[in-house]
Amino acid sequence: MTKRAFKDKVYGELSKITKAMGNPHRLEIIDLLGQGPFSVEQIANHTGMPVANASQHLQVLKSAKLVSIARDGNFILYSLAGENVFNAWAALRALGMVYNAEVEKVVSDFRKGYGPIESIDAETLIDLLEKNKIILLDVRPAEEYNRGHIHRALCAPIAELSSILQTLPKSKTVIAYCRGPFCVFADEAVSLLKKKGYKAQRLSEGFPDWAAKGYPIATK
């Protein structure tokens, strides 16, 4: 085998993975599966695709070995094949945020619809947690909270925040976080909290990013 044939083969194999990631729907699927296992129907619902199309994209990801499956009754649960898949996606997302100004612009413009939302980064959150100056809310669905959440976060799914927030003292700032930088659960939460007179901000990243950094987490 010539050197040229060897390189063509190697880069050809690797492009199977990058091609699999080269579609917006599949990127959204990877981002979603970063939160845990989901069925085809759930994935279709979250991503706004017909089930057949969602399944087609999942077959592409499966063929590239980026996802794995498990059975749960009639449901097939799809998961990322490993944390390294999420980490690679996070690296690509960060790349996109640096080099594609349109990404930041789209996110920023959309967030303006929730009023002025301030973000803090993970390191700032660590500091605030140490100083015991804040209340930390995980506004993802309870199922995702139970699977894993930031240490000392309270479970406050966005759908239930209206009734939960009465129990929160106003003397502390509230920090909300959700699935990631493109998830707006935390924006909605901050908007609502501010409307009710709380000082509130969101964490810029999501739980999987925090966990990937090895920062303190808990389950259940």
Among 14, 51, 91, 97, binds DNA (CB under 7 A): 51
Taking CB under 7 A as the binding criterion, the range among 72-80, 101-109, 123-131, 139-147 that sits at the site for DNA is 72-80
For residue 204, list its beta bridge partners: none
Catalytic pick among 178, 184, 186, 190: 178
Q: Which residues pair with 173 in a beta bridge?
A: 134
By CB under 8 A, is residue 184 in contact with a second copy?
Answer: yes
- Minimal distance, residue 94 CB to DNA, in Å: 22
CB of 156 to a second copy, least distance (A): 19
Binding test (CB under 8 A) with a second copy, winner from 76, 77, 107, 155: 107
User: Cα 94 from chain centroid?
Assistant: 13
Burial of 21 (0-12, 13-18, 19+ CB in 10 A): middle
CB 211 within 8 A of CB 148: yes
Q: How many CB atoms within 10 Å of residue 85?
A: 22
Give the residue numbers annotated as catalytic, written as ranges: 178
**Which residues here bind DNA, judged by CB under 7 A?**
19, 22-23, 25, 39-41, 49-53, 55-60, 69, 71, 73-77
